[in-house]
Structures are given as C-alpha cells and as structure tokens.
Amino acid sequence: MADVEDLIKATLGQIEKVLDAKTVIGEPITVGETTLIPLLSIGVGFGAGGATGKEESGGSATAGGAGVKPIAIIVVDKEGVRIEAIKGGVASAIEKLTETLPDVAAKIAEKWGMRKDKAEE
C-alpha cells in the first residue's frame, strides 16, 4: 500500500504545481487602451488504487483529468473596470469579445489616423 500512498502524493504534487493564481486569472491582453483579463474555472479529479494478490502479483495505478472553462472577462478601459460574465462557454466568450472588439478596433483606427496625419505633416 506504500506504492498507492506514493502515487497519491506524486499526483497531488503535480496538481499543486498546475493550480496557481496564473491558472485561474489569465494573462492580460491589451489592445489600444483596453485590457482584457480572462477568468477561468478549473476542475480537477483523480483516483488512485492498488491491489495485492497471492505471491508477487498486484499493482497500483493513478488516473486523472482536468477541465478549464472561461467564466468571465475583466475589462479595464478609460471608463473604469468591469467584469463581463461569460455564459454558455466558448461561443459566448467569442460573442463577448466581438461585442468589445469593435470599440477597441475603432480606438486603434483613430490612433492610427492620428499617427498617419502627424507623419504627413
């Protein structure tokens, strides 16, 4: 049974390495004056077991799985900070981004136009 305990400790050690604040709060994405910070939900499950039999038969094993799901986006812009919930998974996340991106694209185009005008002067 010491094998099972070692497997559990090793598995929990690896899970602990993966789960930190950077896993739940994604890397910020900055476009123009707007910063988007994804918030994620993480689920982890694992199992371990062992058996002994007659003479030298027996064994032990572990198995696990994990899932990551976007749940919200923190939007930081000149209007302030707000959290936009993501409902329905990836399709809704893309929809939320497409709602935000036109404003961001307009800001970029406006700045690009200012740069182009300055370069022409």
DSSP letter string over 19-59?
-SHHHHBPPPEEETTEEEEEEEEEEEEEEEEEEE-STT-EE
pLDDT by residue for the chain (121 residues), tens only, comes to 566 677 778 877 777 777 766 677 888 999 888 999 988 888 777 777 777 777 776 777 777 777 778 888 899 999 999 998 877 656 566 666 666 666 766 777 776 665 555 555 5
